[in-house]
């Protein structure tokens, strides 16, 4: 998710779940080949396992970027064939690549030949208003023949004209059954479902039909839900049970950012949903977001934010 799942966000999410695979923002091949590589690829060791998502359509460029991902220590390279934005379309990648499965297959093969990392593909289930299952089935089949074994299926069509990216996440109807059918037709592939999953109960239900699920904005806006995933879905014996401890860990992280010359607000913005549903959460968010307190240390702001959780103190 562009401008959302940066390294600070991923560090925060890793405090909540140790087992879940994390993904970067989509990074274009041009940004890596002609831009500031450390700015795009630097990450915290605590983030593992973490996948780099690439946007591009030139096999040679994607292979070069996959080599960078391997060199920087990523655990997976993912090719975005699902983003419908007009800017991405002008770059001839994202969802419009679904119309060129042979090219996607060439891209996958070039990356697989270049690195030992797993190469995966994220895609939609169709383009525009064409809901023919054969389209996505043939896309998956052709790309799988090039060596891709993991497909992350956003279970909506991508409407390439007339809708914003936000509308493309809401207006095309969800068809989860298409991902289920792909798993039945390609039992040897790993099929991961994405789109419209808002509860652990929904996740558990779909895991009876597919191999995994990807959660995006729901996880970002309600991050405390991640705290139960290691126990529920991975069988881990324990997980975080105290938002206060997570906040304290983030304060320590932000202190280290300040020591390195970075504003702590680059990290604090990602944890605004930590206390959603808790009494005083709005006052807590206001404290962390108050522009007047940005000159204070993260420790000082945390003290004020924690006090704001208490109604009597907040009124005073």
Which structure tokens are listed for 64? Answer: 């070069």
**Sheet of 119-123, strand order:** 22-28, 50-55, 76-81, 119-123, 150-154, 190-194, 212-214
User: Which backbone phi and psi does 231 adopt, to 5 degrees?
Assistant: -70, -45
Phi and psi angles of residue 221, each rounded to the nearest 5 degrees, phi first? -80, -25
β-strand partners of 28:
55
Please say if 83 is a catalytic residue.
yes
CA distance 281 to 306: 10
Tokens 């605004």, located at residue: 272
Tell me how far apart the alpha carbons of residues 162 and 176 are, in angstroms, rounded to a whole number. Answer: 23
CB–CB of 16/223 below 8 Å?
yes
User: Which one from 9, 65, 81, 83 is the annotated catalytic residue?
Assistant: 83
For the packed helices 133-145 and 101-114, what is the interaxial angle rounded to 10 degrees?
30
| Catalytic residue IDs | 83
């Amino acid at each position: 998710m562009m401008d959302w799942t940066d390294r600070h966000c991923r560090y925060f999410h890793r405090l909540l779940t140790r087992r879940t695979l994390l993904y970067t923002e989509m990074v274009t091949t041009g940004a890596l080949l002609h831009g500031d590589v450390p700015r795009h690829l630097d990450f915290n060791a605590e983030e593992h396992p973490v996948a780099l998502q690439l946007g591009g359509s030139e096999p040679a460029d994607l292979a070069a970027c996959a080599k960078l991902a391997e060199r920087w220590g990523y655990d997976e390279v993912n090719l975005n064939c699902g983003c419908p934005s007009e800017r991405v379309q002008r770059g001839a990648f994202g969802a419009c690549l679904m119309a060129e499965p042979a090219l996607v297959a060439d891209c996958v093969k070039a990356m697989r030949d270049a690195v030992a990392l797993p190469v995966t593909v994220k895609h939609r289930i169709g383009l525009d208003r064409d809901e023919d299952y054969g389209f996505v089935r043939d896309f998956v089949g052709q790309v799988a023949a090039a060596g891709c074994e993991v497909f992350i299926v956003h279970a909506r069509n991508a409407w390439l004209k007339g809708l914003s990216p936000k509308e493309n996440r809401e207006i095309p109807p969800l068809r989860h059954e298409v991902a289920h059918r792909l798993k039945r037709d390609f039992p040897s592939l790993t099929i991961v479902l994405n789109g419209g999953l808002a509860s652990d109960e929904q996740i558990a239900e779909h895991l009876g039909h597919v191999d995994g699920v990807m959660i995006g904005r729901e996880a970002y806006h309600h991050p405390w839900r991640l705290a139960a995933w290691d126990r529920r879905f991975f069988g881990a014996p324990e997980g975080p049970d105290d938002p206060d401890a997570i906040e304290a860990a983030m304060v320590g992280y932000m202190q280290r950012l300040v020591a390195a010359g970075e504003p702590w607000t680059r990290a604090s913005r990602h944890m605004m949903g930590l206390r959603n549903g808790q009494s005083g959460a709005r006052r807590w968010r206001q404290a962390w977001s108050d522009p007047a307190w940005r000159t204070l240390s993260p420790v000082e702001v945390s003290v004020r934010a924690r006090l704001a959780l208490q109604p009597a103190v907040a009124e005073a």
